[in-house]
Structure 1
Amino acid sequence: MTPYAELCVTSNFTFLTGASHPEELVTRAAELGLEAIAITDRNSVAGVVRAFSALKELERLQGEAREAAEAAAREAPAIRSQSLTDPSSRQRVAQVPPGAAPLLPPDQPLPRLIAGARLVLTDSALHWLALPCDIAAWARLTRLLSLGKRRAEKGACHLTRADLHAACEGMILIALPPDPLEPDAPRANPDAELREMLRRCPGRSFLGAAPVYDGRDQIRLDRLAQLSQQTGLPLVAVGDALMHRSARRPLADVLTCLREGCTIDNIGTRRLTNGERRLKSGDEMARLFHRYPAALRRTVEIADRCAFRLDELRYQYPDEAQNGEPAQDRLARLSREGLHWRYPSGPPPKIVHRVEKELRLIGEMGYASYFLTVHDIVAFARSRGILCQGRGSAANSVVCYLLGVTEVPPESITLIFERFISKERGEPPDIDVDFEHERREEVIQWIYERYGRERAGLTATVIHFRSRAAIREVGKVMGLSQDVIARLSGQIWGWSSSAPDEDRMRDAGIDPTDDRVLMTAKLIEEIIGFPRHLSQHVGGFVITHGRLDELCPIENAAMDDRTVIEWDKDDIDALGLLKVDILALGMLTCIRKAFGLLVEHRGQRWTLANVPAEDGTVYDMLCRADAIGVFQVESRAQLNFLPRMLPQCFYDLVCEVAIVRPGPIQGGMVHPFINRRQGKEPVEDLGPAMMEVLGRTYGVPLFQEQAMQIAVVAAGFTPAEADRLRRSLATFKRMGTIGAFRDRFVSGMLARGYDGAFAERCFAQIEGFGSYGFPESHAASFARLVYISAWLKKHHQAIFTCALLNSQPMGFYAPAQLVRDAREHGVEVRPVSVNHSEWDNTLERRPDGSLALRLGLRQIKGLREEDAAWIVAARANGYPDVESLWRRAGVKPATLERLAEGDGFAALGLTRRDALWAAKALQAPKPLPLFGGDGEGGIEPDVILPAMTLGQEVVEDYLSLRLSLRAHPMELLRPRLPESLPHSAFDKVPHRHRITVTGLVITRQRPGTASGVIFLTLEDETGTSNVVVWTKIYETFRKAVIAGRLLRVTGRLEREGVVTHLIAETVEDLSELLFDLGGAVPVLGPIQSNDGRADETRRPAGGSRRGSAAHHPREQAKKLFPSRDFH
């Protein structure tokens, strides 16, 4: 085989250009026996770590194959053996299904990975492949890319020749000139630029020669060889690959269409003429370059010179020493101080011992600065009154508790420090901290200010094509009509990652046997999972002691004042870089606002640490599943589980949070746990060692820490080995790493006297965690917020609801359901009023001393906070009419219309229509004081407008406020639905009796582990009903289940204790009834009046501003009564 290194490869991280994943490219290079492969994306290194990880995985697979061969003492089998003929190369190659290993003998050398970039300059027709030879050159490359990205808008990079000249030291630079056979090629005239680069980078500058495969390649190579002689740059062969196999050519054309904004029918000469822009073997390249063998040899010589490897990158923590006090000493001092303020009566000896152990290990690992970094971030937040709390595995650390990073007392849970830091693992810890979602930006900007943009950056997140986006974009490229695209995408549930199958196509009225439809479906399936662009992670920060932009390029984010590195969390984990997660949590915002309202209205001061613990009335409330708005336990699944769990203490909440999760469900742990807790089955005695681990959870493993402890006490694992088991559980579906641990686990239990079947069952339960199992420490952190929010709801419902509404968007339920729940708990809710409402929802004292909730101006759709501030500031003793508000507050007439539509003038004695009529009479953008009342508002004659029906008022309430205090839509529709049973009558229905219910869909859930089952919550005027839609019923009534806003469901009512479910048998979409809710007048169209001003013929007199009812009623119902869907 001819030695060859491919030095020019474009992955799909050159967005909408490359047609293969980095992993596919590396795997194919290994199959082809290439010496090396360079990932050279356009002005980017975003895909190189994925290629690096893929190469590491190939090394692992080869190592396992070698061990198996040695153990079997026979010839090593190939890792895979299935093969087929690749028509693009006429070779026998491996057939590699997605995620499978390639056909590689254990002794075959793997290709080296060269991390580089293809530099496209703003002042040059040449492209330059920049391949760093050492770590210093890599630092210069990433700084160069950061320079170009920081001076451009998101997604762009502006670099010049001067920038490249200044940074080229230590890099191999390969020029890719314009095609010399193109008509305008002579005008490019790159000679001078090539000679200049040769002068600046002697011995490291080359001229790349890439075939085009149009029948003229030998002429093209001759021209390039001539240019090489003229300029002195040695010629080097490059494949300029876009894909790993030629089968991706149609997808490459689709990507070109997406990039260029054209369709496949008018792509013209931009289409690839063949599938040759794929990776090729050395023998194939030797045939193409048979007249220039030196160009081929140079590829290997260059690869040998590019000695830099990504695993050379070394992360250095920021130095957090202060006033000459070393970081470790400062951490020890802060921990000692934490012992005093956390345990004013003295810390338990066990805690003191744990602190000493943790500090010793932190010192050995050199992590003190990291802990201090997180401490300082949390300290800043607290200094600004921003609520925050650490979560995740960090709650396994007593030091984190003493530093104030976490809030869960260590003695309340089982601590396994190895879950957080492992000396053997040698990886940095990962501390996640939740902050108030409305004030997290203050923390983010403080981090930038303290460390500088060159030392701190948010990690990226890769936005991939999912089903709906793939259908829309590929369908448009392939020439499908908008109607067909809409019908196809309407068949997809939420964030699905699968292409529409034949049944879905038929449901959408599309012929699945049509050739173009078949090709479109195939392309949709291929593009799903492709990266679309980079976005910013929800809060992962990388902070360094030195320059971050010498590790990875930094670019501008779409949000102002934010910068992002090119790598995502998996990339930085693969390279061992530290990340601090600065996360946003809406419930912390809600709790902080509730604490503020308690000070204001009750004179009580509370913190996360001093809310009264173990309040029996709080647990009683939760046992009744009275938990709307309560953190983590307000979903339908949790509300159904609470009456079965019957929590009585904090640890019960920890279990509650953890058990209604995919991990325990997949592991078959839910039913044994609840049956044993309820005394329906005995707790199996597993022996003293196992019961010490599982005693509190009735012999059932619920937490990741328990899986680790079982491995230690029952299977003889060391703590470090147990941690590796935990990590393999999180990746075994993707990486296939669980087999060796199974054998080790089962044999370890057998050696300690456990039964074989029992050992297998234990491992099966642990394996069920997959990547979903909760750490006990994380569940405890969340359980604390469950308790605090439940305590607020129990004792201060009005305050809690007010805080929830002022913290939107957050949580499981929309404002309409939160307001309804408050009213059902006896809270008076008062409407929006221009004379009483602030921007936020507020509380007003009633004569009996209780608090009423006044809806705020923020509830009015489309009203700006700035306009609300002017309205509040100028109202003094109140506004007598619409015009006075306009004149005094100086807001635009459009703002007055928003207020009228929200019925904000009702307290002035004006109906919605009267107020809107008055608002539309004001035509000037703002009043002009100089001219008083002349001409601005005009003289509006008195007009008697027809009164709105209750149905019309309710519709307008929902359109403007997303809720109504007047009536529920089902209350108005009930006379038209006599067969539908109200929710309040469920108590009288026998178990398994068939009934029909109708209600608004307020939530839809399709958990990933529910085997396609969908859970609906229907709301009528008397309550909410839980509906279970099994897979077959879902497939039959798919359109209604996915898109309906008013559903009529017939099924059997099943009862388990106080929990009731309706098991759906038929589902009907009655959304069109919502269109008629207002009576004879179309509620979503303008209400016309014959009365008008002299200068107009007709004008709207009603409350609606939504235009005509031209759209389908079902689509309008979606906007009128939106549901919250969870996938």
Structure 2
Amino acid sequence: MQKIVDTAKGLEGLKRQWGVHAAGVILSRDPLVDVLPIHKREQDGAIITQWDMGACESIGLLKMDFLGLRNLTILDDCLDAIRENRGEDVVLEQLPLDDKPTYELLARGDTLGVFQFDGGPMRALLRSMIPDNFEDISAVGALYRPGPMGANAHNEYADRKNNRKPVVPIHPELAESLADILGDTYGLIVYQEQVMAIAQKVAGYTLGKADLLRRAMGKKKKEILDKEFQPFSAGMKEQGYTDAAIKTLWDILVPFSDYAFNKAHSAAYGVVSYWTAYLKANYPAEYMSGLLTSVGDDKDKSAVYLAECRRMGIKVLPPDVNESMARFAAVGQDIRFGLAAVRNVGTNVVEAIRRCRKEKGAYTDFYDFLRKVDAVACNKKTIESLIKAGAFDSMGHPRKGLLAIHADAIDSFLDIKRNEAVGQYDLFGDAFGGGDDAVGAGMVVTPQIPAGEWDKGDLLTFEREMLGLYVSDHPLFGVEHVLTAAADMTIGALAEESSVGDGAVVTLAGILSGVQRRITKQGRAWASATLEDLGGAVEVLFFPNTYEIVGQYIAEDAIVVVKGRVDRRDDQPRLMAMDMSLPDITAADEVKPVVLALPRPGARRRWSSGCARC
């Protein structure tokens, strides 16, 4: 036992395992093998230092973070879409920074999908702030962080900017001396550079010493802060400031410095935010197509942005063998679903469909498609998926009818395509024009496509199965106002971490899918399902006590209202159901909601006076 204890003491305090910075890169003027120990990661061959960041910096090496942003890919895709759809070449670096539609979009908080400004609380802050210049965009990115938010600086900035509150100095003694430093930010400390400038101005610090002070404040260790306070206080007293002014300023600087942005960082991020907002405001279809492509693997995010397209008046069209590209593409003012997003449709099939329609002309009907396309695309599973996704709708064929005959039709065309591939052409092929036109001109029996279509429920179920989303229609269209009245919030809002906390009780409304019934070890029944509305989806668990009460109403495609407790222990929130009811949607078509579009806050006074005269 003593040997075990002694061994354990030797292990105590050692690093348990090594970790790797997500974006950190160490730079040196000399070969790294001559400077520090390194090793090669077996999984991908990456060369990694065996020292941590602090040790590397302590010997004079430079660490830089190189971050990859998904939004940069969205920007590239959007520019390509603008060029393809409108024939315009947009250069981001030449965009004006005073574009009126962009600032109107920001002031409305219509920034879903805009870099940094996507979240609900951030959109609320933008509506409160009403940005009207680039300085505001830079500031909002710096303010929406734990340090400034902890001091309520983000709301103070918005209120002072819009004259809802007066600009108040940190302390009366500091009003004049800090006016030139804090004037642009309405008397508030927003950036790290301001912390350094304040130390220089009121405490006589050098620039290097001011930066050391900023770093010390960020470490949040009492002994370090107490040590740094002495020279800071002494420097301010030499300038003639009282203890009250010194303490007030110090108490503001310390919590702020922990999470503050430097202005260069905030402005650089702000430029990307402005670009994405500009493109959404001025090229909405192209921007949203790039955004949808970027989240193609995330069905929850896709549903959110698809709902945003509908709100913006952009129609998202189903995939089409004659029109679709591999990815989402802007078509005029609409967006066309990409073929590669269809389940069971690989990139080789998409390339074959696109190449054949370019070389041989548009497909006129289903049989013309089978006649022209390569054998690689004549796969029964693939064609079935395209049918269910609506990729042949523009030809006028009912999806149900195509599904009934597609297997036999494919077999007929495949036999000839395979024979052609090995040089066994039909004796009478040339009599019908030869080549691909001979296939099906008279040699293939093409059964008549039955009339009649699935009902709306089945059609949308198959569509969602293939695309992961409802595209051409949605079961909840027409009953949105009923669900909104019954629920506390949308499911999309629940996804925002700051909306409701873990354990909170909320009521949500939507449609159930993916219902799975199970039995516990004790033999009691329970179920899980996905609850989905027009803006998102959440997993709902119906444990035995709740299931005994509402189990009979849990069904696929049931429109329900669920009350439950929020569980945020995992990456995605879940809802532990406590009760469930069925909303009355029978009168949904008879009672429609009234939608009012109000002007932005700056115009409220004129709008109100006009109404008074009415």
Q: TM-score, normalised by structure 1?
A: 0.40
**Match runs of 1:590-601 below 5 Å:** 590-601=74-85
Q: CA deviation at 1:766?
A: 2.1
Q: CA deviation at 1:948?
A: 3.4
**Using a 3 Å threshold, how does the CA distance of structure 1 residues 944 and 654 change in structure 2: closer, same or farther?**
same
**Using a 3 Å threshold, how does the CA distance of structure 1 residues 752 and 836 change in structure 2: closer, same or farther?**
same
**Using a 3 Å threshold, how does the CA distance of structure 1 residues 672 and 901 change in structure 2: closer, same or farther?**
same
**Using a 3 Å threshold, how does the CA distance of structure 1 residues 280 and 806 change in structure 2: closer, same or farther?**
closer
**Using a 3 Å threshold, how does the CA distance of structure 1 residues 893 and 605 change in structure 2: closer, same or farther?**
same
Among candidates 236, 251, 267, match of residue 780 of structure 1: 267
Among candidates 988, 1002, 1005, match of residue 496 of structure 2: 1005
Aligned to 1:624: 108
C-alpha separation in 1, matches of 2:533 and 2:334: 33
Aligned to 2:177: 689
Is 1:888 aligned to 2:394, yes or no?
no
Among candidates 277, 300, 311, match of residue 7 of structure 2: 277
Is 1:953 aligned to 2:459, yes or no?
yes
Among candidates 552, 569, 583, match of residue 37 of structure 2: 552
The answer for unaligned runs of 5 or more in structure 1 is 1-87, 90-212, 214-273, 282-525, 846-850, 983-994, 1022-1041, 1049-1067, 1080-1111, 1115-1127
**Using a 3 Å threshold, how does the CA distance of structure 1 residues 812 and 1113 change in structure 2: closer, same or farther?**
closer
**Match runs of 1:454-465 below 5 Å:** none
Q: Is the 8 A contact 1:1003 1:1016 kept in 2?
A: no
C-alpha separation in 1, matches of 2:269 and 2:49: 30
Aligned to 2:206: 718
Q: CA deviation at 1:651?
A: 0.3
Q: Is the 8 A contact 2:510 2:532 kept in 1?
A: no
**Match runs of 1:903-918 below 5 Å:** 903-916=390-403
Q: CA deviation at 1:726?
A: 1.9
**Using a 3 Å threshold, how does the CA distance of structure 1 residues 912 and 942 change in structure 2: closer, same or farther?**
same
Residue 205 of structure 2 aligns to a residue whose secondary structure is: coil
CA shift digits 1:766-824 (9 cap, x unpaired) = 22235421111111111112222211111111121122223336999823332332333
Is 1:824 aligned to 2:304, yes or no?
no
C-alpha separation in 1, matches of 2:101 and 2:339: 34
**Using a 3 Å threshold, how does the CA distance of structure 1 residues 898 and 745 change in structure 2: closer, same or farther?**
farther
Q: Is the 8 A contact 1:1003 1:1017 kept in 2?
A: no
**Match runs of 1:123-272 below 5 Å:** 213=3
C-alpha separation in 2, matches of 1:1012 and 1:761: 35
Q: Is the 8 A contact 2:371 2:413 kept in 1?
A: no
User: Which residue identity is paired with 1:558?
Assistant: Q
Q: Is the 8 A contact 2:356 2:372 kept in 1?
A: no
Is 1:753 aligned to 2:240, yes or no?
yes
C-alpha separation in 1, matches of 2:277 and 2:120: 16
**Match runs of 1:704-715 below 5 Å:** 704-715=192-203
**Using a 3 Å threshold, how does the CA distance of structure 1 residues 657 and 1113 change in structure 2: closer, same or farther?**
closer
C-alpha separation in 2, matches of 1:624 and 1:932: 61
Name the structure with the higher helix share.
2
C-alpha separation in 2, matches of 1:758 and 1:809: 55
User: Which residue identity is paired with 2:135?
Assistant: Y
Q: CA deviation at 1:743?
A: 3.6
Aligned to 2:524: none
CA shift digits 1:866-911 (9 cap, x unpaired) = 3311221123323432771796251344433443343323234444
Q: Is the 8 A contact 2:398 2:452 kept in 1?
A: no
Q: Is the 8 A contact 2:317 2:472 kept in 1?
A: no
Q: CA deviation at 1:753?
A: 3.0
Aligned to 1:637: 121
Among candidates 144, 147, 159, match of residue 675 of structure 1: 159
Q: CA deviation at 1:1017?
A: 12
Q: CA deviation at 1:280?
A: 5.9
**Using a 3 Å threshold, how does the CA distance of structure 1 residues 916 and 567 change in structure 2: closer, same or farther?**
farther
Q: Is the 8 A contact 1:998 1:1047 kept in 2?
A: no
Aligned to 1:871: 353
User: Which residue identity is paired with 2:23?
Assistant: G
Aligned to 1:610: 94
C-alpha separation in 1, matches of 2:183 and 2:230: 26
User: Which residue identity is paired with 1:786?
Assistant: S
CA shift digits 1:700-730 (9 cap, x unpaired) = 1111111121222122322112211222233
C-alpha separation in 1, matches of 2:448 and 2:558: 26
Q: Is the 8 A contact 2:366 2:395 kept in 1?
A: yes
Residue 79 of structure 2 aligns to a residue whose secondary structure is: helix
C-alpha separation in 2, matches of 1:1078 and 1:932: 51
Aligned to 1:512: none
Among candidates 147, 153, 162, match of residue 663 of structure 1: 147
Residue 971 of structure 1 aligns to a residue whose secondary structure is: coil
Aligned to 2:609: none
Aligned to 1:362: none
The answer for unaligned runs of 5 or more in structure 2 is 425-439, 512-527, 535-545, 560-574, 578-614
Residue 321 of structure 2 aligns to a residue whose secondary structure is: coil
Q: TM-score, normalised by structure 2?
A: 0.69
Among candidates 1064, 1076, 1093, match of residue 556 of structure 2: 1076
Q: CA deviation at 1:567?
A: 4.9
User: Which residue identity is paired with 2:157?
Assistant: F
Residue 768 of structure 1 aligns to a residue whose secondary structure is: helix
Q: CA deviation at 1:647?
A: 0.6
Among candidates 279, 287, 301, match of residue 814 of structure 1: 301
C-alpha separation in 2, matches of 1:779 and 1:681: 25
Among candidates 844, 860, 865, match of residue 342 of structure 2: 860
**Using a 3 Å threshold, how does the CA distance of structure 1 residues 1020 and 644 change in structure 2: closer, same or farther?**
farther
Q: Which moved more, 1:585-594 or 1:957-966?
A: 957-966
Is 1:804 aligned to 2:302, yes or no?
no
Among candidates 683, 695, 698, match of residue 186 of structure 2: 698
**Using a 3 Å threshold, how does the CA distance of structure 1 residues 835 and 601 change in structure 2: closer, same or farther?**
closer
C-alpha separation in 1, matches of 2:53 and 2:315: 47
Q: Which has the higher contact order (CA 8 A, sep 6+)?
A: 2
**Using a 3 Å threshold, how does the CA distance of structure 1 residues 815 and 694 change in structure 2: closer, same or farther?**
same
Q: Which moved more, 1:858-867 or 1:579-588?
A: 858-867
Q: CA deviation at 1:971?
A: 3.3
C-alpha separation in 1, matches of 2:277 and 2:446: 53
Residue 769 of structure 1 aligns to a residue whose secondary structure is: helix
C-alpha separation in 1, matches of 2:413 and 2:147: 58
Aligned to 1:589: 73
Determine what percentage of the aligned residue pairs are the same residue: 23
C-alpha separation in 2, matches of 1:896 and 1:981: 39
Q: Is the 8 A contact 2:317 2:335 kept in 1?
A: yes
Q: Is the 8 A contact 1:844 1:854 kept in 2?
A: yes
**Match runs of 1:418-429 below 5 Å:** none
**Using a 3 Å threshold, how does the CA distance of structure 1 residues 907 and 557 change in structure 2: closer, same or farther?**
farther
Is 1:967 aligned to 2:473, yes or no?
yes
Aligned to 1:578: 62
C-alpha separation in 2, matches of 1:724 and 1:714: 16
C-alpha separation in 2, matches of 1:971 and 1:870: 36
Aligned to 1:764: 251
**Using a 3 Å threshold, how does the CA distance of structure 1 residues 571 and 967 change in structure 2: closer, same or farther?**
farther
C-alpha separation in 2, matches of 1:540 and 1:591: 24
**Using a 3 Å threshold, how does the CA distance of structure 1 residues 280 and 1000 change in structure 2: closer, same or farther?**
closer
Residue 109 of structure 2 aligns to a residue whose secondary structure is: coil
Query: CA-atom RMSD, angstroms?
Result: 4.6
Q: Is the 8 A contact 1:621 1:627 kept in 2?
A: yes
